């Protein structure tokens, strides 16, 4: 799976703000013969809901949800020219840009791989080499995190019935965001076609109960925010909904082990892309402003995401104006992956990176008894299994950030980010590697280094 970053075999222009002039009367000739798609639509923040609703109706759309704090609406329309009516720099549908041939269940491979690896819940802590690498087991003896810290797992859902989450799962703060409108009912955020979110969650906060696996911060709470559709896509409206939900519910940290579809890059200076880029940027900034540290996987394309030259998912020109979302945004902590030996994983992207963490690499094989080359974690149905990817690296960073939020309860997102960097273990660029640039402690492969859970629970200073 590539989107989930896991490697596996009547309002006028003056009122609307950003809107062009609209006709005084509704258009009674809307072409509704096309396929209905969901769009994100930009407005000036603070524009009232009724004004957005009025313009959308005039332009043959229907309002699903409106986020006045950031001026982003989620709308549906079957009119083929809906985006043109609104303006291509204001409206975008990710689903509409997905070629029909690629609309398939991208989650199914993840489920098959995971089920093959599932085993009974005996004590498997000896196989958690990833936790040894970041000193999580030592950190657990000092501090397992605070119950007041809520971590948002923005992913494919969480199996709250798994024994490892009996204490951690937080249904009251969980929601499904697939439509772009938050739905807090349990069926909206439970996993369906993908084990990905449950695996990510276990790395962060699986129980320290002597069986199965133990997470980095087993005493914190986990909120599931489902953004992955049953066919494996994460569209802009889902990401916007998730980050706004995180901000409104005052999560301490969020994990995003995915890139927003339908392409790998969104370009802030191009029609369509610009609307999605700005909508997600605003949502992330809103969450950050509400005290949320947002962490995301860098990606598994084995390329420099700080200097885009090609989109490996969809065909369009890219340049420095383009970024992976959400990892490429300034407010987001970007994470690369390393394997058992501590070297960068062969698939990991680099370039825009804060820190690195274990994601696994099948070329870096642990010794017998220490587990497989991919990190072990939880699966739906009470199982356990392994997955590799920057998807797995990112929750390691989130777990450490949750410990930092526990030990520094008044720290801002910027201060938590500073602590992640300052407490990381520096790693130098590999010899004779031209794509890695910069010194140990601040380079394009490992950023400020490998996250350190023990330092997170013993650090006394807060830095920016």
The predicted structure's pLDDT at residue 33 = 82
The predicted structure's pLDDT at residue 294 = 98
301 exposure class (CB count in 10 Å sphere: 0-12, 13-18, 19+): buried
At the top level of CATH, the class of 108-458 is alpha beta
The predicted structure's pLDDT at residue 3 = 74
Angle at the Cα of 43 from the Cα atoms of 83 and 290, rounded to 5 degrees: 125
The predicted structure's pLDDT at residue 410 = 96
The predicted structure's pLDDT at residue 6 = 75
Report pLDDT digits (tens) over 125-134: 999 999 999 9
The predicted structure's pLDDT at residue 119 = 52
For the chain, residues with pLDDT lower than 70 are: 1-2, 7-28, 100-121, 460-464
The predicted structure's pLDDT at residue 397 = 98
Residue ranges covered by each domain of the chain = 13-102, 108-458
Task: Using a cut of 0.75, tell me whether the model's pTM lies above it.
Answer: yes
CATH number assigned to the domain with residue range 13-102, chosen from the 4 options 2.60.120, 3.40.50, 1.10.3470, 3.30.70:
3.30.70
- As given in the structure block, the two tokens for residue 342 are 């501590």
The predicted structure's pLDDT at residue 32 = 79
């Amino acid at each position: 799976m590539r989107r989930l970053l896991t490697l596996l075999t009547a309002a006028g222009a003056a009122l609307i703000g950003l809107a062009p002039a609209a006709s005084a009367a509704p258009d009674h000739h809307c072409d509704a013969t096309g396929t209905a798609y969901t769009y994100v639509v930009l407005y000036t923040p603070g524009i009232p809901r009724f004004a957005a609703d009025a313009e959308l109706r005039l332009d043959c759309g229907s309002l699903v949800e409106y986020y006045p704090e950031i001026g982003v609406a989620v709308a549906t329309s079957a009119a083929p020219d809906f985006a043109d009516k609104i303006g291509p720099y204001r409206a975008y549908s990710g689903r509409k840009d997905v070629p029909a041939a690629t609309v398939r269940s991208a989650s199914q491979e993840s489920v098959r791989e995971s089920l093959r690896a599932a085993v009974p819940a005996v004590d498997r802590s000896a196989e958690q080499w990833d936790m040894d690498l970041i000193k999580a087991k030592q950190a657990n003896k000092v501090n397992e995190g605070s119950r007041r810290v809520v971590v948002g797992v923005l992913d494919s859902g969480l199996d709250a019935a798994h024994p490892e989450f009996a204490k951690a799962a937080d249904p009251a703060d969980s929601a499904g965001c697939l439509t772009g409108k938050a739905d807090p009912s349990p069926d909206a955020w439970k996993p369906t076609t993908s084990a990905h979110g449950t695996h990510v969650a276990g790395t962060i906060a699986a129980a320290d109960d002597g069986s199965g696996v133990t997470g980095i911060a087993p005493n914190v709470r986990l909120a599931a925010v489902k953004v992955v559709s049953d066919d494996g896509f994460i569209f802009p409206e889902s990401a916007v909904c998730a980050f706004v939900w995180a901000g409104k519910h005052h999560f301490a940290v969020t994990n995003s082990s995915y890139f927003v579809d339908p392409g790998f890059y969104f370009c802030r200076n191009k029609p369509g892309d610009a609307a999605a880029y700005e909508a997600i940027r605003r949502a992330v900034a809103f969450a950050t402003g509400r005290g949320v540290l947002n962490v995301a996987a860098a990606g598994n394309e084995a390329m420099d995401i700080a200097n885009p030259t090609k989109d490996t998912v969809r065909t369009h020109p890219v340049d420095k104006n383009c970024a992976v979302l959400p990892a490429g945004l300034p407010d987001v902590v970007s994470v690369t992956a390393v394997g058992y030996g501590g070297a960068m994983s062969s698939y990991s992207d680099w370039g825009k990176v804060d820190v690195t963490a274990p994601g696994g690499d099948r070329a870096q094989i642990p010794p017998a008894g220490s587990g497989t080359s991919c990190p072990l974690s939880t699966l739906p149905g009470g199982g356990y299994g392994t997955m590799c990817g920057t998807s797995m690296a990112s929750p390691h960073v989130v777990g450490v950030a949750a410990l930092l939020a526990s030990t520094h309860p008044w720290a801002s997102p910027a201060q938590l980010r500073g602590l992640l960097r300052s407490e990381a273990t520096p790693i130098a660029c590999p010899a004779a590697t031209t794509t890695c640039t910069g010194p140990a402690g601040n380079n394009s492969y490992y950023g400020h280094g490998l996250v350190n859970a023990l330092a997170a629970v013993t650090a006394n200073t807060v830095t920016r």
